[in-house]
Amino acid sequence: MNKMLIPILFALGTAIFWGCYGPTIGNAQAPKLDGRPLWSPFKPYVFIGIAYLVIAIIGGLAVMKIKGDSFSYSGQYYPAAKWGFLAGCLGAFGAICLTSAMMISKGNALLVMPIVFGGAVSVTAIVSAIKLGGVNQMSVPLWGGMLLTVVGVVIVAMNTPHGHAAPSPGAGGHAEHAAPHAAETPSHTDAVNPYAAPSETATESE
């Protein structure tokens, strides 16, 4: 029983961390200046990679040392490097897809995350079936479960609130103050550096 409890606890930990991943990265949504986002989804994605670097590499090496693992990745240890790197690539591509989805949906985790986790369960089932013996061995209840997953994702997506909070009065006042000045500012300046507008405003005010 204890041998089954530990994997279940780790699985629950994964669900908690990954479940919080979407709302957290949604906080990195770029504000707009003159109708354009200040940054692309790749800007927070870089720091996702840095987090992996700190936790996975440094932490992984430390735990390997504690566990007495060999630091060699050649010979009989090569599968650890090959499949670990491939899994890391899949995780990285998944992270950029999820980050882009959260940015484009304006941080709407209720819309994005059910699709991610519902789809991931179905993909895992199909890949596992192919690996273990082929799609023909997939049972009818398994297909039914995946169909229910798709139906559940559609229901959640259709009933998710898509509205966003109205801007605060302070933010609105700033936008109204900045709009007339933006019309007077040459467009090529904005294209070169979107941060130039506030400094120019301060200069002209003086």
Report how far apart the first and last C-alpha atoms of the chain are (Å, whole number). Answer: 74
Angle at 19 between CA 13 and CA 20, to 5 degrees: 95
Q: Where exactly are the structural domains of the chain?
A: 32-104, 107-160
The radius of gyration of the chain's CA atoms, rounded to the nearest angstrom, is: 24
Stated as kind and residue range, the H or E segment containing 33 is strand 32-33
Summarize pLDDT for 34-87 with one digit per residue, the tens: 888 888 888 888 998 899 889 989 999 999 999 999 889 999 999 999 999 999
Dihedral angle sign, alpha carbons of residues 137, 126, 13, 19: negative
- Do residues 174 and 154 lie in contact, with contact meaning Cβ atoms separated by under 8 Å? no
Which single residue is written with the structure tokens 């139906």? 151
Please state the pTM of the whole predicted model.
0.62
Name the pLDDT band for 10 (thresholds 50, 70, 90).
confident
Angle at 61 between CA 57 and CA 62, to 5 degrees: 120
pLDDT tops 60 at residue 95: yes
Distances (CA, A) of 26 to 90, 115, 142, 148: 21, 15, 33, 27
The pLDDT of residue 168 is 45
Summarize pLDDT for 64-76 with one digit per residue, the tens: 999 999 889 999 9
Stated as kind and residue range, the H or E segment containing 18 is helix 2-26
- Do residues 200 and 194 lie in contact, with contact meaning Cβ atoms separated by under 8 Å? no
Angle at 107 between CA 106 and CA 109, to 5 degrees: 135
